[in-house]
Amino acid sequence: MKCSQCHSAKIKTKESRKTEIADLHTVHRVRHCIDCKHVWHTYEITEELMSRYERNHEIFSAEKSGEYERLMEMRKLAGELKQLLKQ
């Protein structure tokens, strides 16, 4: 694993604990980069649990629900409204 900020491989784990997210047993780790001091969190789960989760839960997608075009239209209208209010 490398730091997302400076791409250094000098990474330490500050904290590690078992947690449960959406009925999945995970390992939560707080990591930090030795070089740039960037801190981030990772959540690790097993492949078996991930495949079970994917089978049982459909991930929401605006495109699948047919709402994507409506969402884009609303964003466009919001931008136009901001422009009108600035004038």
Q: What is the pLDDT of residues 45-73, one digit of tens each?
A: 777 666 666 665 544 555 556 666 766 77
* 9-24 mean pLDDT: 83
pTM for the complete prediction?
0.50
How many Cβ atoms sit within 10 Å of the Cβ of residue 3?
Answer: 20
Please report, for the chain, the start and end positions of each structural domain, with discontinuous segments joined by +: 1-56, 62-87
Residue 45 and residue 25 in contact, taking contact as beta carbons nearer than 8 Å? yes
The CA–CA distances, whole Å, from 8 to 4, 25, 43 equal 8, 29, 20
